[in-house]
C-alpha cells in the first residue's frame, strides 16, 4: 500500500489518507471483517498526526466503509449495495440483476385479502375490495437485504396469485402476463428501527436502522397498480439519486 502523503498538494491530509485506505480496501488488501491497524500504527504508516487519522477514519465510518467496535478496534465493513430504483421505474429484481448480483426471493405470504382502509386509499379502491398481498424476503448474494410487502388490486392481475417469483421479476410478470404497464410512480423514503419480526428475518439486531420505502405505481391512465412498503437494511443499502438543475 502506498502510504506517502503529498505535502505540497492542496488536498487535506486526512482526505489523502482516507483515499489511500479506501483504495487499499477496494483492491482487496483488507477484506470485509478484517481489522485495520490501530491509530498509532496508522500515524506511523502515513507520518501524520492522530488528529488526521481520526478525521480520515470518521469519514470512512460515515461512508460505511469501516465500522468501529468499542474495545476491539476498527474493521472493514461489508460493502453497501447501491440501489437506483428510487429514481427509476425499475423493480428491485431488475436493479440488482443489472448490477451483477444474484437475487432470490423467499415468499413469506401470498394470499388474497380484503383491503384495509389505508391500503384502499393508496390504491384508490373501496375498503374490503380484494387485493393480492405478497410478503417477500429478498436475498442478494444469499444475504437477506430487504423485506417487502406488496398490494395489488386482484381484479387487475389475478394471475399473480399462482405465480412463482423466487427468481423472477414481479414487474416483468405484470407486463408480460397481465398486459399491464407502469407509467409513473411515487416513492417516499423514511428511517425506521427494526422490530423483533424484522430482526428475525433480516438477521440483524432489534433496533437496527432500516430504510423504509413506500411506493405507489400508476398505469398510463392514472389507475394505481401497486402499493408496496419495503424495508431495506441500513447497514447494507445505499440509494443513488441523480439530480438535474432546472433552468428558470
pLDDT digit string, tens, across residues 26-45? 888 998 889 999 999 999 99
C-alpha cell at 186: 411515487
Among the residues of 47-192, which ranges form H helices? 50-62, 92-98, 117-123, 170-177
Task: Note the CATH number of domain 81-239.
Answer: 3.40.1410.10
Q: What is this structure's pTM? A: 0.72
Of 245, 139, 244, 231, the residue nearest 189 (C-alpha): 231
CA distances in angstroms from 26 to 66, 131, 233, listed in the order given: 12, 45, 22
Length of the chain counted residue by residue:
248
Q: Can you give the pLDDT at residue 139?
A: 94
Q: How confident is the model at residue 117 (pLDDT cuts 50, 70, 90)?
A: very high
According to DSSP, the residues that pair with 115 across neighbouring strands are none
| Residue 73 φ/ψ region, left for φ over 0, alpha for ψ in the -120 to 50 degree band, beta for the rest | left
Q: Can you give the pLDDT at residue 242?
A: 66
C-alpha cell at 139: 436475498
Q: What are phi and psi of 58, to 5 degrees?
A: -60, -45
Decide if 102 contacts 141 (C-beta within 8 A): yes
Calculate mean pLDDT across residues 14-24: 91
C-alpha–C-alpha distance, residues 11 and 68, integer Å: 26
pLDDT tens digit string along 143-171?
999 999 999 999 999 999 999 999 999 99
Q: What is the dihedral of CA 70, 28, 22, 139, to 10 degrees?
A: -70
CATH class of 13-76: mainly alpha
Decide if 133 contacts 111 (C-beta within 8 A): yes
- Range from 74-78, 195-199, 232-236 that averages highest in pLDDT: 195-199
C-alpha–C-alpha distance, residues 88 and 94, integer Å: 11
Calculate mean pLDDT across residues 113-122: 95
Specify the higher pLDDT residue, 89 or 143: 143
Residue with C-alpha cell 487535506?
A: 12
Q: How confident is the model at residue 10 (pLDDT cuts 50, 70, 90)?
A: confident
- Res 80 pLDDT > 90: no
C-alpha cell at 26: 477496494
Q: Can you give the pLDDT at residue 8?
A: 87
CA distances in angstroms from 15 to 5, 27, 63, listed in the order given: 10, 18, 13
Domain ranges of the chain: 13-76, 81-239
Query: How crowded is the C-beta side of 117, counted as CA atoms within 13 Å?
Result: 0
Amino acid at each position: 500500500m502506498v502510504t506517502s502523503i503529498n505535502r505540497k498538494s492542496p488536498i487535506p491530509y486526512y482526505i489523502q489518507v482516507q483515499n489511500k485506505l479506501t483504495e487499499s480496501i477496494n483492491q482487496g488488501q483488507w477484506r470485509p471483517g478484517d481489522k485495520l491497524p490501530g491509530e498509532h500504527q496508522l500515524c506511523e504508516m502515513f507520518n501524520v498526526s492522530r488528529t488526521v487519522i481520526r478525521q480520515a477514519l470518521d469519514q470512512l465510518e460515515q461512508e460505511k466503509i469501516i465500522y468501529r467496535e468499542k474495545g476491539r478496534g476498527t474493521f472493514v465493513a461489508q460493502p453497501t449495495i447501491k440501489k437506483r430504483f428510487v429514481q427509476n421505474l425499475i423493480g428491485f429484481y431488475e436493479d440488482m440483476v443489472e448490477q451483477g448480483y444474484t437475487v432470490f426471493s423467499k415468499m413469506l405470504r401470498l394470499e388474497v385479502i380484503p383491503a384495509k382502509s389505508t391500503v384502499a386509499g393508496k390504491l384508490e379502491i373501496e375498503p374490503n375490495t380484494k387485493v393480492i398481498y405478497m410478503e417477500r424476503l429478498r436475498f442478494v448474494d444469499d444475504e437477506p437485504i430487504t423485506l417487502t410487502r406488496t398490494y395489488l388490486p386482484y381484479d387487475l392481475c389475478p394471475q399473480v396469485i399462482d405465480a412463482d417469483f423466487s427468481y423472477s421479476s414481479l414487474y416483468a410478470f405484470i407486463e408480460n402476463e397481465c398486459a399491464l404497464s407502469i407509467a409513473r410512480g411515487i416513492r417516499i423514503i423514511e428511517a425506521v428501527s427494526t422490530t423483533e419480526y424484522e430482526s428475525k428475518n433480516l438477521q440483524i439486531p432489534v433496533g437496527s436502522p432500516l430504510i423504509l420505502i413506500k411506493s405507489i405505481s400508476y398505469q398510463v391512465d392514472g389507475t394505481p397498480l401497486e402499493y408496496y412498503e419495503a424495508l431495506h437494511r441500513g447497514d447494507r443499502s445505499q440509494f443513488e439519486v441523480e439530480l438535474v438543475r432546472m433552468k428558470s
